[in-house]
Amino acid sequence: MDARSHPLIVDLDRTLLATDTLAESWLLLLSRSPLLALLAMLKLFKGRIAFKRYLAWHTKLDINLLPRNEAFYDWMMDQKSRLQRPLHLVTAADQSIADQVQAAFPEFDTATGTSGDINLKGSNKASYLAERFPEGFTYAGDSSADLQVWKQAQGAVLVGVSAPVRRQAEALDCTIEKAFPGNDAPLKTWAKAIRLHQWSKNVLVFAALFLSHSYFSPLAWMQILAGFVLMGIAASGTYLANDLLDLEADRAHATKKERPFAAGRLKVEQGVIASVLMIGLGTLGMMLITLPAALMLACYLALTLTYSFGLKRVALLDVVALACLFSLRIGLGAALISVAVSEWLLVFSMMFFFSLSLAKRQTELERQHARGEEEIKGRGYRASDRFLSLALGTAAAAVSILILCLYVMDAAYPSGLYPAPQFLWCLPAFVGVWVLRIWLLASRGDLHDDPVAFALKDRTSIGLFGSIGIGFFLATFGPAAS
């Protein structure tokens, strides 16, 4: 008998969906109530079913936002429409999850999940399906646990299985109807997830090296370079944590829905492990360089994780936190080489990066307004707030330019550290042109989400920052003014 005449039984996690609903539920609970998420972990001592039931009770996933395995879904729908093949969802997820999936995917004739005291996985699922479909069935799954089911099935659909699992499935006495390739994450995908381009922000740790005129010290260079790398590793760990805690909001966002975890190109479980390891490695490495730098990094990590867990949902306080994170990078650089941080630099940094953070929000608000939507999911802003963010952001930009002018007049000239201080006037001039141009683009809705990422690709920005570098070099090494 042709296996295609049998009903098609579909697994949920990593088969119909390109993610795991159990991991998604725990992360959703963690983002909303860390204490309840920790209590959920204690339920594992009572068994996996108790853990699933606890999560199902305290969370409700938006199934429509979860990423699908599109190639498999299209094939499944073709089987339904062309062959009139019955479709049944059978999953180890809690029954409440199965019910939500059937509501979102009405093409399923039935949806069965774990209920009672039996976890519907592996041999338990195999026994259940053999009893329910005595005339035979085809099963679509994704993991080694599904081998027990394929032993009882007449047909198998392999969705992203590993090479060893595929070989074992091919050795079974069942027909392989279809095999869909796995979504192996290339290094490029991980590089995007850890936001390697955001390491450019960590260049701020070099500010203390140049402003303290310690650039001829090999030891200072080694400490700064090591700190730069460790800071990048730890910060990338926090980016992973932020994306994992913000999955629901990212999937509702116009551009952030393409992030690797939100799109299902990376497993959320792998992201949790990578985040913990990277944060731990960065912190331990910084402790080996100098304790003050490690303390600064600890402050940075505490603030950024607080931001991920809640501050990002508080309007205005979120952009203040982002400005503080930039300033902490400067402080960390000073701690690495044991020099004092200029008050001028810290005040300028706060105002300048407060302005840039608002520019990022302005872009989101303009897009939200253009789509006719008022609320921004996962944020404390409304589209009507774009007028306030525009006023505050441009005012902060103007204040940052003024601070640079005052620094040149009241600190740089009298210090005697610059033989040709007149070239320092390029700092407020070119910084002013750049930040005001950012605001012009943001108000038009033409700016990318992140001004820093935009600057790395924008020729005008590169030219302006190059001119600033030349001006600083001439002021430091140029001929003294007569």
Question: Side by side, which strands form the sheet with 110-114?
Answer: 110-114, 87-94, 8-10, 138-141, 155-159, 175-180
In-domain check, residue 413: no
**pLDDT value at residue 109:** 96
Q: How far apart are CA 412 and CA 344, in angstroms?
A: 10
In-domain check, residue 57: yes
Backbone angles phi, psi at 194, to 5 degrees: -85, 0
User: Which tokens hold the place of 457?
Assistant: 């690709």
CB 342 within 8 A of CB 333: no
Q: How far apart are CA 451 and CA 362, in angstroms?
A: 11
**pLDDT value at residue 364:** 86
Q: What share of the chain is helix, strand, coil (3-state, %, to 5)?
A: 70, 10, 25
Say yes or no: 103 and 226 in one domain. Answer: no
Q: How far is CA 300 from the centre of its chain?
A: 17
Paired with 179 in beta bridges are: 158
Say yes or no: 266 and 305 in one domain. Answer: yes
Q: What is the DSSP string of 37-84?
A: HHHHHHGGGG-HHHHHHHHHHH----GGGSPB-HHHHHHHHHHHHHS-
Burial of 69 (0-12, 13-18, 19+ CB in 10 A): buried
Number of domains in the chain: 2
| Domain-terminating residue out of 321, 341, 361 | 341
Domain that holds residue 258: 187-341
In-domain check, residue 346: no
Say yes or no: 54 and 149 in one domain. Answer: yes
| Domain-terminating residue out of 161, 180, 199 | 180
CATH number for the domain including 83?
3.40.50.1000
DSSP state, residue 157: E
**pLDDT value at residue 482:** 52
Say yes or no: 221 and 320 in one domain. Answer: yes
Say yes or no: 207 and 336 in one domain. Answer: yes
How many other CB atoms are found less than 10 A from the CB of residue 123? 13
Nearest by Cα to 481 from 393, 418, 408: 418
Say yes or no: 168 and 218 in one domain. Answer: no
Say yes or no: 153 and 257 in one domain. Answer: no
In-domain check, residue 450: no
User: Which tokens hold the place of 281?
Assistant: 């490695």
| Domain-terminating residue out of 341, 371, 387 | 341
User: Which tokens hold the place of 417?
Assistant: 């550290």
pTM recorded for the entire structure: 0.85
In-domain check, residue 296: yes
Residue 110: in which H helix or E strand, if any? strand 110-114
In-domain check, residue 191: yes
Say yes or no: 25 and 139 in one domain. Answer: yes
DSSP state, residue 257: G
Nearest by Cα to 316 from 262, 257, 254, 362: 362
CATH number for the domain including 203?
1.10.357.140
Say yes or no: 173 and 196 in one domain. Answer: no
**pLDDT value at residue 469:** 93
In-domain check, residue 313: yes
User: Which tokens hold the place of 212?
Assistant: 């303290």
Say yes or no: 106 and 146 in one domain. Answer: yes
Residue type, 113: G
Backbone angles phi, psi at 175, to 5 degrees: -80, 130
Say yes or no: 210 and 295 in one domain. Answer: yes
**pLDDT value at residue 396:** 97
Backbone angles phi, psi at 458, to 5 degrees: -90, 120
Say yes or no: 284 and 330 in one domain. Answer: yes
Nearest by Cα to 68 from 13, 106, 25, 113: 13
**pLDDT value at residue 271:** 95
CB 357 within 8 A of CB 243: no
Scan for tokens 């390491």, then name that residue.
199
Q: Write out the chain's pLDDT in tens, 482 residues.
A: 455 679 999 999 999 999 999 999 999 999 889 999 999 999 999 999 999 999 999 999 999 999 999 999 999 999 999 999 999 999 999 999 999 999 999 999 999 999 988 899 999 999 999 999 999 999 999 999 999 999 999 999 999 999 999 999 999 989 999 999 876 667 889 999 999 888 988 999 999 999 888 888 999 999 999 999 999 999 999 999 999 999 988 898 878 889 999 999 999 999 999 999 999 999 999 999 999 999 999 999 999 989 988 888 899 999 999 999 999 999 999 999 999 888 888 999 999 999 999 999 998 888 888 888 777 766 788 888 999 999 999 999 999 999 999 999 988 888 888 999 999 999 999 999 999 999 999 988 888 768 888 888 899 999 999 999 999 999 998 776 55
Instruction: Give Cα separations from 287 to 204, 230, 280, 282 (angstroms).
Output: 20, 10, 11, 9
- The four Cα atoms 180, 195, 263, 125 give a dihedral, to 10 degrees, of 60
In-domain check, residue 410: no
